[in-house]
Amino acid sequence: MTKTVDNRAWFLVLPVFALVAFNAILPLMTVVNYSFQDSFGNNQFFWNGIGWYQELLDPTSELGGRFFAALGRSAAFSLAILAIEVPLGILVALCMPRSGTQLAIGLVIMALPLLVPWNVVGTIWLLYTRSDIGLFGWLINAVGIDFNATRNAAQAWIVLIAMDVWHWTSLVALLCFAGLKSIPDAYYQAARIDGASRLAIFRYIELPKLGRVLMIGVLLRFMDSFMIYTEPFVVTGGGPGNSTTVLSIDLVKIALGQFDLGKAAAMSIVYTLIVLTVCWVFYTVLVTRDSQEAQP
Amino acid sequence: MSRRIIFYAYLVCLMLPLYWLINLSFKGNVEISTTMTLWPIEPTLRNYAIIFTSPEWFDGFLFSLSYVALNTIISISVALPAAYAFSRYCFLGDKHLFFWLLTNRMAPAAVFALPYFNLYSSIGLFDSVWAVALAHCIFNVPLAVWILEGFISGVPREIDETARIDGYSFPRFFVRIFMPLIANGIGVAAFFCFMFSWVELLLARTLTNSKAISSIMTRSVSASGIDWGLLAAAGVLTLIPGALVIWFVRNHIAKGFALGRV
B121 domain-assigned: yes
Residue A236 to residue A126: CA distance in whole angstroms: 8
B236 domain-assigned: yes
Quick one: B34 and B62 in the same domain? no
Give the sign of the dihedral formed by CA B15, CA B247, CA A181, CA B179. Answer: negative
Residue B63 to residue B60: CA distance in whole angstroms: 5
Residue of B nearest to A210 (CA): B262
Amino acid at B107: A
Which is more confidently placed, A230 or B78?
A: B78
- The mean per-residue pLDDT over the stretch B108-122 comes to 82
Q: Report how far Cα B18 is from the mean position of its chain's Cα atoms.
A: 19
B156 domain-assigned: yes
Q: Please give the pLDDT value at position A295.
A: 54
On chain A, the residues whose CB falls within 8 A of the CB of B257 are 171, 174-175, 177-178
Q: Please give the pLDDT value at position B219.
A: 59
Quick one: B169 and B127 in the same domain? yes
B145 domain-assigned: yes
Quick one: B184 and B237 in the same domain? yes
Judged by a CB distance cut-off of 8 A, whether residue A84 touches chain B is no
Residue B40: give the domain boundaries.
1-44
Does residue B177 contact residue B159 with C-beta atoms inside 8 Å?
yes
Give the least confident one: A100-104, B88-92, B172-176: A100-104
Q: Highest mean pLDDT range out of B7-11, B37-41, B59-63?
A: B7-11
Whether residues A223 and B92 touch (CB distance < 8 A) is answered with no
Q: Please give the pLDDT value at position A83.
A: 95
Quick one: B165 and B242 in the same domain? yes
ipTM of the complex in this document: 0.83
pLDDT, chain B, mean? 83
Q: Please give the pLDDT value at position B16.
A: 92
B262 domain-assigned: no
B131 domain-assigned: yes
On chain B, the residues whose CB falls within 8 A of the CB of A1 are 153, 157
Quick one: B28 and B77 in the same domain? no
DSSP secondary structure letters along chain B: -HHHHHHHHHHHHHHHHHHHHHHHHTS-HHHHHH---SS-SS---HHHHHHHH-HHHHHHHHHHHHHHHHHHHHHHHHHHHHHHHHHHEE-TTHHHHHHHHHHHHHS-HHHHHHHHHHHHHHTT-TTSHHHHHHHHHHHHHHHHHHHHHHHHHTS-THHHHHHHHTT--HHHHIIIIIHHHTHHHHHHHHHHHHHHHHH--HHHHHTTTS-SHHHHHHHHHHSSS--HHHHHHHHHHHHHHHHHHHHHHTTTHHHHHTTT--
Q: Please give the pLDDT value at position B223.
A: 47
Q: Please give the pLDDT value at position B218.
A: 61
Superfamily of chain region A70-294: MetI-like (1.10.3720.10)
Whether residues A271 and B33 touch (CB distance < 8 A) is answered with no
**What CATH number does the domain containing B60 carry?**
1.10.3720.10
Judged by a CB distance cut-off of 8 A, whether residue A191 touches chain B is no
Q: How far is B7 from chain A (nearest CA, A)?
A: 6
Residue B226 pLDDT > 80:
no
Whether residues B253 and A6 touch (CB distance < 8 A) is answered with no
* The total number of structural domains that make up chain B: 2
Q: Please give the pLDDT value at position A42.
A: 58
* Positions in chain A whose pLDDT score sits under 70: 1-2, 40-44, 293-296
Quick one: B6 and B121 in the same domain? no
Give the sign of the dihedral formed by CA A110, CA A112, CA A118, CA A122. Answer: negative
CA distances from B118 to A286, B115, B178, B235 (A): 37, 5, 40, 31
Quick one: B37 and B58 in the same domain? no
Quick one: B158 and B217 in the same domain? yes
CA-based nearest residue to B113, from B201, B220, B212: B201
Q: How far is A103 from chain B (nearest CA, A)?
A: 10
- The mean per-residue pLDDT over the stretch B141-165 comes to 87
Task: Report the phi/psi class of residue A43: left, alpha or beta, with left for phi > 0 and alpha for psi in -120 to 50.
Answer: left
Q: How far is A92 from chain B (nearest CA, A)?
A: 6
Quick one: B63 and B2 in the same domain? no
Residue B262 to residue A211: CA distance in whole angstroms: 10
Residue B259 pLDDT > 60:
no
CA-based nearest residue to B26, from B181, B229, B196: B229
Residue B76 pLDDT > 90:
yes
Quick one: B172 and B209 in the same domain? yes
